Structure 1
Amino acid sequence: MGNYHIRPFNDRADFEKMQQLEKDTWDMAPIPLHQTLTAHKNGGLLLGAFQEESLIGFSYGFAGFSDGSSYLCSHMLGIHPDYQKRGIGEALKYAQKREAARLGYEQVTWTFDPLEGVNAYLNLTKLKAVCSTYEVNCYGKMNDGLNAGLPTDRLKVDWWIQSDYVNSDFVFSEEQAKVFAEYGSTEEGCPKISLLHPEYLAEEALLVPVPRKFQEIKRHSFDLALKWRLDIREIFVQLFAGGYTAVKLIQRPQEPVNYYLFVKDFRLTTRREEKK
């Protein structure tokens, strides 16, 4: 792969390189340069992974504000197709954590597709962000390869970057968790939700399966992909309304699914709360 380094954007050329990388990564019109420049100068944070002078990855966040508190809204993370699956995205997130804390942020938020297990594993299991918000059809209709034809449902995660939970070795165990949703197989051998266990809704921890290879399911059977979208929407909305928080994605290489771990009445103490 070669060596690379990560640093904040510092001149117009960096922002121009980001626009080209957006095109190369997603084949979509880039964010206007005047917007990203302005966001970066006013509480936002743009970081690049550079190999010599070439930009091979970036993260883009802007300042957010809600209910009297500020946070960093991490809107985009893109890696050049030639450099994906090499840990650059994870490195960019940890750099974002350091820089956001230096700027005074305690919270970073972003959204991701609950059916994309690679993203879920990074966001929840590795970074230790948590989630209790499901956004139905968050972006409306999108025509790119990953989203075309399906509602753009998203999970909104909260990454409390200065909390003890994020910065400790503590991890949630799934040993006592009950399987809230069981899966079966279609005639073609693809996984599908087959049975729910509402009697477990008082349990402290629950497991919910999602397909390990959702994009393959979408290519094989659009109807099954849509069913996964709608089934997961119903389950997650129900669990969040019942006081559960998604805290982890458990990978099961021997199965066609991974599992989200939900815990009941999750409570995280932040520095912001300690000051009250």
Structure 2
Amino acid sequence: MTDLAAEAAARGGVVIRELREFAEWERVYRLFDDIWHPEPGNAPVPMELLVAFSHTGGYVAGAFEGDALVGASVGFLAADRTLHSHVTGAVMGRGVGHALKLHQRAWCRERGLDRITWTFDPLVRRNAHFNLVKLGARPEAYLRSFYGVMVDAINEGDESDRLLAVWHLAEPPGGEAVAPAWPSALEAVDERPVVTAVRGPVVLVATPRDIETLRREDPAAAREWRLAVREALGGPLGQGARVTGFTTDGKYILNHR
């Protein structure tokens, strides 16, 4: 592993390694169940896929604090020298997720892969910040209702629009959140989305402060955010615009040039 991956694991107080035995894969299954609380039959990664991904050379790794599994990541090999990182879950606020991603990056580079892809909900601000700023990945496609309607404790029956993040491994990891210096095509007003008439070569697209709480407390407002971001971000991405960063106050930087 690289120095960056080792340093991140040390900061998080964990040891990260590949998992190769059935009992270890069962622990991953239980960890993901504890994080997402899915309905029966709707596991983020069924046991059969954990076995298959590991057996066929995919990435199945766990982060351990002593004997406790506190994070795990699962990915499979895809076309064009790519690993698709299907699921990563970890305890929050400890840097374990960051350490797992850097371990994953080092694993891919050792095998001559060029990039890692994954999907994430464009409404979850902390994930957008992590992916675009902490890691330096960039969204390259907006995937409408990618998994259908999801039924678990985090997604609360919402449609599963996703951004496809692409992490080019030849570039150094990490980015920077920048101050909002452009007009907003989508703003938050009293926690509700407001699409504006602003147009320009570079515009901002806001995200809700806490979409997971909003889904529970005000499903109608959460639905408004889904549709507004689908229009303000998904529409332009489908027409060739690019997301080039993320601001300090939680807005996508959308470049039409």
Task: Compare 217-226 and 116-125 and name the one that shifted more.
Answer: 217-226
Residue number in structure 1 paired with 2:59: 45
Residue number in structure 2 paired with 1:18: 28
**C-alpha contact 1:117 1:249 (8 A) present in aligned 2:** no
**C-alpha contact 2:82 2:117 (8 A) present in aligned 1:** yes
Residue number in structure 2 paired with 1:260: 252
Q: Normalized against structure 1, the TM-score is what?
A: 0.80
SS in structure 1 at match of 2:207: strand
Residue 114 of structure 1: CA displacement? 0.6
Q: Pick one of 46, 55, 61 that aligns with 2:69.
A: 55
Correspondence list, 1:111-260, <5 A: 111-163=119-171, 167=172, 171=176, 173=178, 176-185=181-190, 191-200=191-200, 203=201, 205-252=202-249, 258-260=250-252
Residue 96 of structure 1: CA displacement? 0.6
Listed one character per residue, the Cα deviations across residues 82-135 of structure 1 (whole Å, up to 9, x for unaligned) are: x32211111111111111111111111111111111111111111111113111
Residue number in structure 1 paired with 2:16: 6
Give the 3 Å change call, closer, same or farther, for CA 159–246 of structure 1 in structure 2. Answer: same
Aligned equivalents of 1:40, 1:207: Cα separation in 2: 40
Please tell me the root mean square deviation across aligned C-alpha atoms, in Å.
2.3
**Structure exhibiting the larger radius of gyration computed from Cα positions:** 1
Aligned equivalents of 2:107, 2:215: Cα separation in 1: 37
Give the 3 Å change call, closer, same or farther, for CA 32–171 of structure 1 in structure 2. Answer: closer
Percent identity between the aligned chains?
Answer: 29
What are the ranges of 5 or more consecutive residues in structure 1 without an aligned counterpart? 186-190, 253-257, 266-276
Give the 3 Å change call, closer, same or farther, for CA 175–150 of structure 1 in structure 2. Answer: closer
SS in structure 1 at match of 2:75: strand
* One-letter amino acid of the counterpart of residue 212, structure 1: R
Give the 3 Å change call, closer, same or farther, for CA 110–234 of structure 1 in structure 2. Answer: same
Aligned equivalents of 1:24, 1:195: Cα separation in 2: 37
Residue 214 of structure 1: CA displacement? 1.4
SS in structure 1 at match of 2:221: helix
**C-alpha contact 1:125 1:247 (8 A) present in aligned 2:** no
**C-alpha contact 2:16 2:100 (8 A) present in aligned 1:** yes
Give the 3 Å change call, closer, same or farther, for CA 206–14 of structure 1 in structure 2. Answer: same
SS in structure 2 at match of 1:229: helix
SS in structure 2 at match of 1:211: coil
What are the ranges of 5 or more consecutive residues in structure 2 without an aligned counterpart? 1-10
